[in-house]
Amino acid sequence: MFKFKGDMKPIIKHLNKTQKKQIPYAAAQAINSTLFDVMKAEKAQMPEKLDRPTPFTMKAFRINKAKKTELVGDIHITRERWKYLKYQVEGGTRTGNIGVPTRNAKLNKYGNIPMRRKGLIKKKNQFISKIGNVAGVWERSKSGTKLIVAFEPSVSYEPRFPFHKIAKGVARKKFQRNFKRSLSRAIASAR
């Protein structure tokens, strides 16, 4: 989750009383515009930082909008996508029997095992076993047995997607401009 505070003091110090009444509405609009700017930047950076993210992954971001009565908004990664994206954002080690595709695995255009949710065994000639010291999904063929997916007890990740850095940079760059624009519109439509 990313939250930010914008400095509105330089903009509002020259306003009269009537104009100042528009500040909560303008601030909420500016926060929301900035959050959508952040989301746009995050989506643009995702294919640059991650290897072929799926359409599901590209839809990872959600926004909780600010209201004029509550000048707080946030952008976050949805819970079900955070389960795997946290390793790209924060790094860390995943533990358990983690299936890692080998060069023998047939992968989809995103570099993933197709229909993985339905299981790792895709053909009748595939089986799960430990051969030698290697546990995984194996495939029998006329030429022998080959490893398709290896089971690793843990996999370590380095952070690759700077979610917070992107958000901070965009918020710093866009908030004051968004606030000025929102305040101008609010003052123009004020009664």
Q: Is 2 exposed, middle or buried (0-12, 13-18, 19+ CB in 10 A)?
A: buried
Residue 42, sorted as left (phi over 0), alpha (psi -120 to 50) or beta, turns out to be alpha
Helices (H), strands (E): how many in the chain? 6, 6
Model confidence over 42-80: pLDDT tens digits? Answer: 999 999 999 999 999 999 999 999 998 998 999 999 999
Model confidence over 32-41: pLDDT tens digits? Answer: 999 999 999 9
This prediction has a pTM of 0.84
How far is 20 from 164, CA to CA, in rounded Å?
32
Task: Give the mean pLDDT of 149-162.
Answer: 95
